[in-house]
Amino acid sequence: MHILVVGLNHKTAPVAVREKLAFTPEHRDRALPVLRNTKSVLEGVILSTCNRMEVYAVVDQLHTGEHFIKGFLSEQFNLPKEEFVDYLYVKANDEAVVHLFRVTAGLDSLVLGETQILGQVREAYYAALEAGATGTVFNTLFKQAITLAKRAHAETQINHNAVSVSYAAVELGKKVFGSFAGKRVLIIGAGKMGELTVKHLLANGARQVMVVNRTVEKARELAASYDGEAYGFDALPEVLVRADVVISSTARGRTW
């Protein structure tokens, strides 16, 4: 048996490519049984975040496993392999294990030491466990990776850096403006990252926050919690011209 990871991230692929190979939680949950039943694959976990997509697998043969995992991705996203294989990295055995540990601890993140990835790896593992896609190897390995990441955060100064992309975005804005006081800030996206961004903004003096989201009800829910304004995507052109700062945080790719 061999451990294999096939993936791409912010270092190897542009946003346009990452968007095409991004699993939503619902898509991932449907895909996990397919991955587990893919030829050569004995166990599997799918990790998909705004900055990376990775398939971890226990395979019976390395080259065969890599071939069929790439085919799995091609089928899942209805893309010819030629459109994405050049952006993929493939790591095997010890190199794959070290990569997982680095990812989980935040050492391979866009923002060094960010802690959100630990929760994302944990959620990806438990989704695979619930789907029956893991076994002895990954049930041990992923628990070790999660434990190691917790120790790294508790016993080192790694997370003294910016703890999330949203935090980094706010810190960058402070360097530009000095202060968010009196600034009108537009947040595009009402998910977890959008809410974290609003919290960081308010903690740094922002008092005029507008939230735009594809589902206006979610925008209203987030905005109401922080005395902000809510809009649907159709109002984006109008709201953009009123904003001093725009931070985009959507499931289709996050930029700031």
Distance CA(112)–CA(94), nearest Å, equals 22
pLDDT at 247 (0 to 100): 80
Per the prediction, the chain carries an average pLDDT of 87
Q: Do residues 203 and 166 lie in contact, with contact meaning Cβ atoms separated by under 8 Å?
A: no
Q: In this structure, which topology does domain 2-160 adopt according to CATH?
A: Beta Polymerase; domain 2 (3.30.460)
Distance CA(56)–CA(104), nearest Å, equals 13
Average pLDDT over residues 223-243: 87
Closest CA to 139 of 157, 152, 126: 126
Q: Where are the domains of the chain?
A: 2-160, 165-255
Say which of 50, 92, 105, 110 is annotated catalytic. 50
CA distances from 185 to 7, 117, 170, 233 (A): 34, 26, 10, 16
* Each residue's pLDDT tens digit, 168-209: 677 767 766 677 777 788 888 877 777 777 777 777 777 788
* Each residue's pLDDT tens digit, 13-38: 988 899 899 999 999 999 999 999 99
CATH of 165-255, one of 3.40.50.12160, 3.30.1360.200, 2.40.70.10, 3.40.50.720: 3.40.50.720
The answer to whether 50 is a known catalytic residue is: yes
Q: Do residues 21 and 73 lie in contact, with contact meaning Cβ atoms separated by under 8 Å?
A: yes
Query: What is the side-by-side strand order in the sheet with 208-213?
Result: 229-232, 208-213, 184-188, 245-250, 253-255
Rounded to two decimals, the pTM is: 0.72
* pLDDT grade for 159, boundaries at 50, 70 and 90: low
Distance CA(125)–CA(146), nearest Å, equals 10
pLDDT at 255 (0 to 100): 39
Q: Above 90 in pLDDT, residue 136?
A: yes
Average pLDDT over residues 101-114: 84
User: Is pLDDT larger for residue 47 or for residue 245?
Assistant: 47
26: its two tokens = 């619902």
